């Protein structure tokens, strides 16, 4: 019993070790991912490179009081504060260009001072935020409260012994998640279905590449190559079928999300279909490119998994990109998963029109073309 058991075990180990590249990838991939997450989450010592949260501030009050609040916010290293008008702030948050916006209304300082010293009605500070960044919103609220209280303490309490109302916040915050329209609730399923859809379609792309490598090992490949077919037709047909499958998968996913979770395409339907089509083509071309990376399916699988995880991670499908350090955020912009994610968010819960997704669509198509061209150039055409 022991002899065959050991022989079988030895055989498995031998086969595993015989493919050096596969062995290397099986070790490199987890090391890379563990190092990546350890780094972006600070590795236990806090990550000093983490980029600040983009916050827009509209100061319609313009008083010394409100200006000092803004100055304190600007001094906060975890925030990247930029002045804006209420309209441009709302538009930027809706488009995902800024995480939140603070709207300080007219007469804020007067009303806040009255409320602080004598009690009564508290003025309201508008807090517009991107509902997919709820955690950051809570953090901004805390910083905002601190800034107002410090300013109030400094400016309003100087020379006074006490306040009528005690030390309570002299204002109210009215947070508003900016979605496709006022009163339209943010549906978190829209983002999660987009993220998971993108991740699984990339996996489909990997399968396309692996299947192509396996096909080479069968007589079918020889038969196809023997026919008077161009290389473009051979690889293109595979990419087209994969694109159709991927696109159908995305549409079915969102149809399910619509029926079960009420996810709606609140923006441009053509834009939604465009993002789905462009991303599907990109994944198919990515799959073809995968097929050119390794000689065997086993070796390629490791590289493909690493590449896929990289794209998914840096595209922000697992963790929001704001937790990345600055330099990584800059790199993340080049990943097509990021554009796909932005595109799907834009036409679903953000409710934006086609113009908002035109660039992501163009970039995804461009990426598909580049990947496809590289695949055709690098593909080993000769039968084994």
Name the site residues for another protein (rule: CB under 8 A): 217-231, 382-383
Q: What is the CA radius of gyration of the chain?
A: 27
Q: DSSP string covering 309-343, please?
A: HHHHHHTTSSS-GGGSBHHHHHHHTT-HHHHHHHH
Place of tokens 């998914």: 312
Minimum separation from the CB atom of position 219 to another protein (A): 3
**What's the closest the beta carbon of residue 382 comes to another protein, in angstroms?**
5
Task: Give the 3-state secondary structure of residue 363.
Answer: helix
Nearer to another protein, 214 or 333 (CB): 214
119 Rama sector, left if φ>0, alpha if ψ -120 to 50, beta otherwise: left
Two structure tokens written together for 85: 């008008």
Strands 124-129 and 53-59: unpaired
**Choice between 113 and 234, CB closer to another protein:** 234
Task: Give the chain's end-to-end CA distance (angstroms, integer).
Answer: 39
What count of other Cβ atoms lies within 10 Å of the Cβ of residue 323? 17
C-beta closer to another protein: residue 112 or 291:
291
Distance CA 266, CA 131 (A): 15
Nearest-approach distance from CB 198 to another protein, in angstroms: 29
Q: How far apart are CA 336 and CA 278, in angstroms?
A: 10
- Minimum CB distance to another protein, residue 384 (Å): 10
Distance CA 374, CA 289 (A): 7
* CB 221, min distance to another protein, A: 8
Report the residue number, 139 or 215, with the smaller CB distance to another protein.
215
Q: How far is the CB of 220 from another protein (least distance, A)?
A: 5
| CB-nearer residue toward another protein: 154 or 218 | 218
Count other C-beta atoms under 10 Å from residue 267's C-beta. 23
DSSP for 87-118 reads HHHHHHHHTTSSSEEEEE-TTHHHHHHHHHHH
Shortest distance, position 380 Cβ to another protein, whole Å: 11
Q: What is the Cα–Cα distance from 203 to 31, expressed in whole angstroms? A: 20
Nearer to another protein, 215 or 323 (CB): 215
Residue closer to another protein (CB basis): 221 or 286: 221
72: enclosing H helix or E strand = helix 64-75
Nearer to another protein, 4 or 219 (CB): 219
User: CB of 232: closest distance to another protein in angstroms?
Assistant: 9
In the complex, what is the shortest distance from the CB of residue 93 to another protein, in angstroms, rounded to a whole number? Answer: 51
Identity of the residue, 31 or 226, whose beta carbon is nearer to another protein in the bound complex: 226
């Amino acid at each position: 019993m022991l002899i065959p058991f050991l022989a079988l075990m030895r055989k498995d180990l031998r086969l595993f070790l015989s493919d050096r590249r596969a062995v290397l990838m099986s070790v490199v991939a987890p090391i890379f991912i563990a190092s990546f997450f350890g780094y972006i989450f600070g590795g236990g010592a806090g990550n000093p490179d983490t980029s600040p949260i983009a916050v827009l501030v509209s100061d319609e009050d313009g008083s010394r009081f409100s200006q000092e609040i803004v100055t304190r916010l600007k001094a906060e290293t975890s925030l990247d504060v930029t002045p804006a008008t209420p309209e441009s702030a709302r538009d930027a948050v809706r488009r995902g260009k800024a995480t939140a916006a603070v709207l300080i209304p007219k007469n804020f300082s007067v009303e806040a001072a009255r409320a602080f010293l004598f009690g009564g009605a508290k003025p309201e500070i508008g807090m517009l935020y991107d509902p997919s960044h709820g955690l950051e919103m809570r953090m901004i609220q805390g910083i905002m409260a601190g800034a107002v209280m410090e300013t109030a303490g400094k400016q309003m309490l100087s020379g006074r012994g006490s306040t009528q109302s005690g030390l309570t916040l002299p204002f109210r915050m009215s947070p508003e998640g900016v979605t496709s329209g006022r009163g339209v609730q943010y549906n978190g399923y829209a983002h999660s279905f987009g993220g998971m859809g993108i991740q699984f379609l990339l996996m489909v792309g990997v399968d396309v590449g692996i299947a192509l490598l396996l096909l080479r090992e069968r007589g079918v490949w020889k038969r196809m190559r023997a026919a008077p077919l161009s290389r473009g037709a051979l690889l293109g047909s595979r990419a087209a079928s994969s694109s159709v499958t991927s696109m159908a998968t995305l549409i079915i996913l969102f149809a399910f999300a619509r029926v079960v979770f009420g996810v709606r395409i609140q923006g441009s339907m053509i834009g939604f279909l465009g993002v789905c089509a462009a991303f599907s083509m990109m994944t198919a071309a990515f799959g073809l490119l995968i097929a050119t990376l390794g000689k065997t399916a086993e070796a390629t699988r490791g590289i493909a998994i690493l590449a896929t995880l990289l794209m998914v991670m840096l595209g922000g499908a697992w963790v929001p990109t704001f937790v990345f350090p600055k330099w990584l955020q800059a790199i993340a912009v080049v990943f097509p998963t990021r554009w796909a994610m932005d595109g799907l968010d834009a036409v679903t819960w953000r409710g934006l029109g086609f113009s908002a997704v035109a660039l992501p669509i163009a970039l995804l198509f461009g990426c598909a073309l580049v990947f496809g061209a590289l695949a055709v150039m690098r593909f080993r055409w000769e039968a084994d």
